[in-house]
Homo-oligomer: A and B are copies of this chain.
């Protein structure tokens, strides 16, 4: 439970107003409820899952509104998506061990050799969920590519 979530609703709303102001978004009832739902859901919800929850509080809400608001949050940088999501399947034809550089703006992906990293490993103290057996690491270096830099 993060400190923000334990604040009374009044103060959470105030914090949300500030956040929206900073990110250039206006504050609507739907947007506020969608944000609260996002923050309260465990894991990494999909738009449909968010919609289902929001519906409990605003029965007339539309799925389109949920999508529009999620994009408002992502585009303004107020929230992030879990992983680059091209919306389409991408095949990795490079079978050499390597990782990826991803441009935050245009989502272009570049390869970078695994040998370019200092060895990566979990601390001995790391607490991994029960019984999860790690196999390998996939690293994304998020940043801005040359082209996008110049615009």
Residues of A that sit less than 8 Å from B by CB: 2, 38-39, 41, 43-48, 50, 70, 73-74, 79-93, 95-96, 100-101, 103-104, 109-110, 112, 115-123, 125-146, 149
Contact = CB atoms under 8 A, between A and B. Distances in A.
Given A89-B70, A109-B82, A131 B145 contact: yes
Given A2-B96, A104-B135, 5 more contacts: A43-B109, A79-B95, A82-B109, A118-B123, A138-B139
Oligomer: number of copies: 2
A132 B144 contact: yes
Nearest to A145: B132
Nearest to A144: B133
Given A82-B91, A88-B48, A137-B140, A125 B116 contact: yes
Which of A90, A96, A123 has most chain B Cβ within 10 Å?
A90
